[in-house]
Amino acid sequence: MCQGIFQIALTLLILVLITPLLGQYIARVFMEKKTLLDPIMNPVEKVIYTLSGVTKDEMTGWQYARAILYSNLVMAALILFILMNQGWLFLNPTNLGAPSWDTALHTTISFITNTNQQHYSGETTFSYASQMLALGYHMFTSAATGLAVGIAFIRGLTGRPLGNFYVDLIRAITRILLPISLVGALLLLIVGVPETLASPVTVTTLEGATQVIARGPVAHFEIIKQLGENGGGFFAINSAHPFENPNNASNLLEILAMVCIPAALIYTYGLFANNTKQAWLLFWMVFIIFVVLIGFTALGEYQGNPLVNPLLGGQQPNLEGKEVRFGWAQSALWAVTTTGTMCGAINSLHDSFMPPGGFSTMFNLFLQIIWGGQGTGTAYLFIYLILTVFVTGLMVGRTPEFLGRKIEKWEIVLASVVLLVHPIMILIPSAITLAFPDTLAGISNPGFHGISQVVYEYASAAANNGSGFEGLADSQPAPTGLWWNLSTCVSLLGGRYIPIIAILLLAESMTHKQPVPETAGTLRTDSLLFTGVTAGIVLILGVLTFFPVLALGPIAEAFNIASGGQ
């Protein structure tokens, strides 16, 4: 147990140390201040601007949103074309044909929304060309899109113009995602992750049987999968596969990759707002909730299953669905991190976690701010902050203000849209699916756990996370496979683009507000008390919105197991 706690503590310590360094670098990039990469990237960006015709003109909220929608539509068409024509394209050593139209459509929407929810097995469905040119390429662009939205929102909150989407997209890729990915890919190569265009190799096992071992250009795919909070695996079992995540060194690197940018963006906000005190308060608020969920999940896995322990001669960690090389501690840490950051990559089967693990992972998907999606998670965090300012202002009889700007009806309407779209995209399709458990859901584990399986799938789609409890027939032919592909597409699109539009309009509204001078009656938002109230509102809203689902799922399952049920 001590070793597991040490591994978790070491990872968290490294995260705390790198947060201000990366946060400062991101701020310098988007403030267009001098960085070490300028001599290399300035000429590259000039070529891109010249060839594409992109200008640096400032955009309004609607212009920024339209630029995102138009560019994402064009990129989605490119993905779909490559996937549906991979049979005759190059880099297809296993001669894979085109997937079904609904699988291709779901995969396209999933990757363009930075979700990477997979209703397929990567190594047996998509060619190297599809994995690299379609999916891998959009791991960069979808992550950069989210990062650009987060920066635009921070600019708006701090009274700056929103910027230009295309410029922000380019700088996010050239200055942040690409350089870190190059270094990360080299490190993954060093620790044993393969990078090859060779076809699968056929070997003879110790028992004398023949086995085909898939391989491919994994290292560069893996690092942007983690860094961009994409989560889509090159192989079916994702980061549990030894070629994606061979050892504890790669596991540590990949965990830090998925959480470093969301954590750093909070510090980036502090630099934009000239208030690093508030940034650190918010960081520690999120960090404490994060640590509590890790501890809750890890304890449940360490104690094991009380129905199984007597058969094992005493208490044993729950290792079902886990890789022995990672054990209970690293599996718990990864599960909470991947659902907290909206990455969605897995190194163990979430379906096999004890109820505390199911509770924590679902709770993360419901809140979306521990640490949240690439860029958008930071925006959601400040949406909660704006609501807290509004609520506390009403309670004490003060005009709600944030960063010297009044919070009025329009801002609250937009903030409410952002927070209400999420449960709508989860609960309504979940209710429809659970109404037809045999024909639509395809649940493998009925009862309380089956409810969690269904709700988790839609929560993962709406939160743009992509991980799954699994145990569903989402990769099977119609009607179940078709239903899952099409219904989750609605949650994918609604959960991504409706909040982004509302966030940008809210940011623009804050930009145009005249700053109000601070007085003795101004409610300070950089205090420990206000941060504590924010944490309470975050937790209360999350619990009130989704408590019935949690009660019918992991909570009921925990009581059932404790009482000796199945």
Tell me the DSSP string of 448-501.
HHHHHHHHHHHHHHHTT-------S-TTSSTTHHHHHHHHHHHHHHHHHHHHHH
pLDDT tens digits, one per residue of 410-446: 999 999 999 999 999 999 999 999 888 777 777 777 7
Which stretches in the chain have pLDDT values below 50? none
pLDDT tens digits, one per residue of 302-329: 998 888 888 877 788 989 889 999 999 9
The Cβ-side half-sphere exposure at 345, using a 13 Å CA radius, reads: 35
Given this model, what pLDDT does residue 539 score? 87
The Cβ-side half-sphere exposure at 11, using a 13 Å CA radius, reads: 30
Given this model, what pLDDT does residue 476 score? 73
CA distances from 157 to 114, 204, 236, 464, 515 (A): 24, 61, 41, 24, 11
What's the CA gap between 557 and 319, in Å, rounded?
Answer: 18
Dihedral pair phi/psi, residue 168, rounded to 5°: -65, -40
- Confidence (pTM): 0.94
Please state the domain extents for the chain. Answer: 30-272
Given this model, what pLDDT does residue 563 score? 82
Sole residue written with tokens 């076809």: 199
Given this model, what pLDDT does residue 519 score? 65
CA distances from 46 to 54, 68, 553 (A): 10, 21, 53
